[in-house]
Chain A
Amino acid sequence: MNDGPLSPEELRALARARLTLGRPGTLPGGHLSQRRGTSLEFADHRPYQLGDDFRLIDWAVYARQRRLVTKTFSHEVEAPLYVLLDASRSMGEGHKLRFAVRLAAALVFVAYRGQDRFAVQPFREGLVAATPPRRGRAPLARAFGSLGELRAEGETELSVALRTWTEEPREPGICVVISDFLCSAGYREGLLALRHGRHAVAAIQVLSRDDLAPPRRGEVRLLDVETRRGRSLVLGVGAVQAYREALRAWNARLADACRELRAPYFLFESGASPVEATLDIVAGWKR
C-alpha cells in the first residue's frame, strides 16, 4: 500500500476518522448515525406519545418531574460510500485530479477503517466504471489501484453522468461528488437525482490556484481545455477581477443549491493536504 495515492503517514493520520451518516442502511455497521433507533446507546429523551413502548418510558424522570418522557437510542447503521469522481480534462489543470484522487483515496480509507463498503465511480461525459460497493482490504487495494491509473480525459457532463448512475438500482449510501463543478451544462439535476435516490450527498469542489486567482498574463488567448474553444483577451487587473466575481457567483449558486438539497458543500484548493481535507469533511458532516 506504500505505492498507493497516500503515504503511510497520511494513512496513519486518517486511521481514527469516521464518517457519520444520516441515512439508514441494511446492515449494522461500525458507526453511529444521527437517526434515533434501538440500540444499547442512550441518545435523548422525548415527550411520550401515544403508542410508545411502555418499556421505554423513563420512570425516574416521571418520579422527579411528573411528566412522561420516552428514552430514545442511537441506531447503528451501515451505509456504503460512493465516491463519484470527476476525471474530465478540466480536472487535469492545476493538479486538481491529483488532489481529487488522493482525497477519494482518503475517504475510501476512512470507510475501510470503519468497516463500511465503498466504491469509486469515476465519470466524465458518462460513467467510466460502476462497481458495486465492497468492504475489505482487497477492494481497498483495487480502489487505490484504479485511482492511481485515472487520467484526465474527455469533457464533463456532470448531470448526465450522475443521472445515469442513479438509473441503476443502488443501495442508498453516502455519495461524495468530487469535481470542479465548472460545467456550463449545470450540476443541479445530477445532485437532485442523487437525493432522489435516497443518498446522502456531499459536494466537494476542487479548484486550482489558477482557477481561483488567475495570473495577469497580458494579451493571451484563453483556451478551454475541454471544449477547445478559445477567446482572445487582455488579461489585466480588470479582467481578472471580473473573472473572480463570476467564479464567486458561480460558487455561491453551487453552495445555495447544496444547501437547498441538504448536501454539505466543501471547497478545496488543489494544493491542500488531502488528509486535512478529509478530516474537514468528516468534522463538517458530523455537524
Chain B
Amino acid sequence: MSFLFPWAWAWLLSAGGVVLLYLLRRREREHPVSALFLWERVSPDRASRLERIWAQCDLLLVLQVVAVALCAAALASPIVRVTRSAGEVGIVIDGSASMAASGRPEEALTLAREAIGDSAGPWSVVVWADPPRVLVPPTANRDEALALLGAYRPTLGGRPPLGQALALLPGGFSRTVVITDDPLPDAGVEVLTLAPQDNLAIVAFGGREIPDGTGYEALVRVRNNTARYQDVQVALDTGRGTLLSSRLIGPGEEDLVVFQTGLVRTALRAEIRPMDAFPWDNVRYCALEGGSTVRVGWIGDEDRYLWAALQAALPVERVTAPPWDLTVAVRRELPALPAGPALLVAAPSSEAEVAEPVPAGPLRGEDSPLLRHVVPEEFRAGTVYPVQLPSHAVVDLWAGEWPALARWEGEAGRRVLVSLDLGRSNLPLLVDFPILLRNIVTWLLPFRVRPNLVVGEGVALAPGAEVAAAAEPASGVWVPDRPGLYELRRNGRPELLAVNVPVAESLAAQGTAPATTTPVRAVAGLPAWPWFAVGAFLVLAAEWALALRRGG
C-alpha cells in the first residue's frame, strides 16, 4: 500500500486535540443504583493496574481517535496494489459444434467472464467458428464486454485453423486466451481447456452396394467416448422400415455395425441411443444417388405384363424424353444403344444380336444375383430368341442351349438381355416375375452414395436449383447450418442431400489434459480511500449511538 498524499497523515495530530478535550472535560460517570446502602458496605475495589487503565479508558474516546485516524488515512489517498492479469485481453471462444453440447456454452462463458473480470482491459472476443466472427469488438467498457458476451452461440459446424480467428483480434493485445474443449497441441497462446465430456457418437456412416449385386449395405461406426461400457442401440431407417442392432462397446473403443438391406430409397438415417449431452452426432444421414422413382424410357413394343411387373417391383415412371434412368427396349432393334443402364427384351443392338425365335429347351438357372429369391425351374417358355452376346457377358438363365437371361457391363453402362419370348412363357403369370425384375433393376441401377455435406460447407447450386431449407428455399450458394436431410429441386426432380456435423467434432479432446499456460500478470493500483472514509463514518455513527445511549 502506498499513499498519494502522505503529508495528510498530519491530520493524526488532531487526535491529540480530541484526547486533550476529553481529559479537560473528563468526569466520573454516574451510575444510578436502587439502594446505595448496599454499596456502602462494599470496600473500594482493589482493581489491577490494567483494570484501572481500562476503567479510565472511555470507549467513546477510543472511537473518536479511531475515526480521526481513519479520516487521516482516507485523506492520504492510499493505493492498494493488487495483482491482476495483463491489461489488454483478446479472447477466442471455440464456436464449433462440440461446444454446442449441453452445458458447454455456459462453461465457456464463465471462463470468458473470469478472464474479463481478472484483467484491466480493453477486451475483444472472437468466436472460433467457420467462419470466425467478432463477438465483442475492442472495448474498454467491462459492462459492455460482458453484455455482448451473452450473444455467444456455438455453431454446429467445424472450425477453421486458429490463425483465422486470431487474425480478427486487434494487434497489440498483450494476452490472448483461447477457450476450447479441443485444444490444439501447440497453440502458442494461453489456452483454457474445458473438461472432457462423455459422448457416444456415430463417427462414420455410409451405404454401398453389395459386391454380388444382391442389395445394399449400410455401415455405421460407433465410438464410445465415455469411461464405461455402453450398450449402444443402433437404428437404421431406410425409409421403408427400421433395422435395429445393438453393441456393447468398451470405453474409448469403436465398433462397426453393418446392416444389409434390399433396394432402398434415396436416403438412410442412422441413430444411436442412449442420447448424450451432444446429440448432434447421435444421428447421421446418408443420401444415395439414383434412388427414388426410376424414370424409364420405353422403346419398342408395349408389354403390359412387363410394365405391370416393373411397377410392382419398384417405383417407376415412364418418360418420353431423356434423360431417364433406365432404358427398356422391347423387341425393337436399336442401332445405337443409349448410354446408361438398359433392359433389353429380345431387342437386338450393336452389342448383342438377336435372331428369329426357336423352340426353347428346359430352363436352367445359374447361381446369380439376378435369380435371387426366384425358382427358375418353375419357368416355362415356348420359344427363345437365339442371341449373340458380348464375350464378357454372363449368362444367368439358360433355355436349353440358348441363353435366356444374360448381363454384361460396358463402357456405356450395364445391360441385361432377356431373350425369352415372354408372350410364350409363363413368367408374366408367376409371382417370381416382379422379383426377377427387381433383381434385374437392382443390378442395373447401383445406387451410389451421394457426397455428403457437413454443416457450414457451402454448395454452389445450379441455376434453377433450390434447396428446401427450414426458413425459405435457398438458391445460389447454400450453406447448411443444421444437420439433416434437405430436398434439392432441380429440373423439377427432387433429390435429397444429407448434412451432418463434422466427424472431428465427435472426437474433440478426449482425455486431453487441460493445457495450462501461465497468464501474464500485472500489478494494478486500486484507490482505497473510499473504504477508509466509509469506515470513519461508521465509527462516528457508532460513537454517536453510544453517546446517545449513555444519555449524552
Contacts and interface: CB of A to CB of B under 8 A. Distances in A.
Interface of A: 90, 93-94, 96, 180, 182-184, 207-208, 210-211, 214, 217-227, 229-239, 242-243, 246-247, 250
B7 interface: no
5 contacts: A93-B32, A93-B33, A220-B31, A222-B31, A234-B55
B29 interface: yes
Interface residues of B, number: 25
Contacts of B52: 218-219, 234
A223 B42 contact: no
Given A184-B35, A211-B34, A236 B28 contact: no
A242 B30 CA distance: 20
B36 A239 contact: no
B51 A236 contact: yes
B51 to A, nearest CB: 5
Task: Count chain A CB atoms within 10 A of each CB in B32, B43, B54 and give the residue with the most.
Answer: B32
9 A-B pairs with least C-beta separation: A218-B55, A182-B35, A224-B36, A239-B45, A236-B47, A90-B34, A236-B45, A221-B28, A242-B42
A220 B29 CA distance: 5
B38 A223 contact: no
B30 A230 contact: yes
B108 to A, nearest CB: 60
B31 to A, nearest CB: 4
Nearest to A89: B34
A250 B32 contact: no
A229 B35 CA distance: 10
B41 A225 contact: no
Interface in B14-51: 28-47, 51
A233 B45 contact: yes
B311 to A, nearest CB: 94
B54 A224 contact: no
A223 B31 contact: yes
Contacts of A247: 38
A243 B31 CA distance: 14
A222 B55 contact: no
B470 to A, nearest CB: 69
B91 to A, nearest CB: 61
Given A182-B34, A227-B36, A234 B29 contact: no
A130 B40 CA distance: 35
Contacts of A208: 34
A210 B39 CA distance: 13
Nearest to B40: A231
Nearest to B41: A246
A272 to B, nearest CB: 17
Contacts of B41: 242, 246
B56 interface: yes
A42 to B, nearest CB: 49
Contact of B32 (A183, A219, A223, A246): A223
A225 B39 contact: no
Interface in B31-85: 31-47, 51-52, 54-56
Contact of B33 (A183, A214, A236): A214
B39 A233 contact: yes
Interface in B70-129: none
A180 to B, nearest CB: 6
Contacts of B42: 233, 239, 242-243, 246
Contacts of B38: 182, 243, 246-247, 250
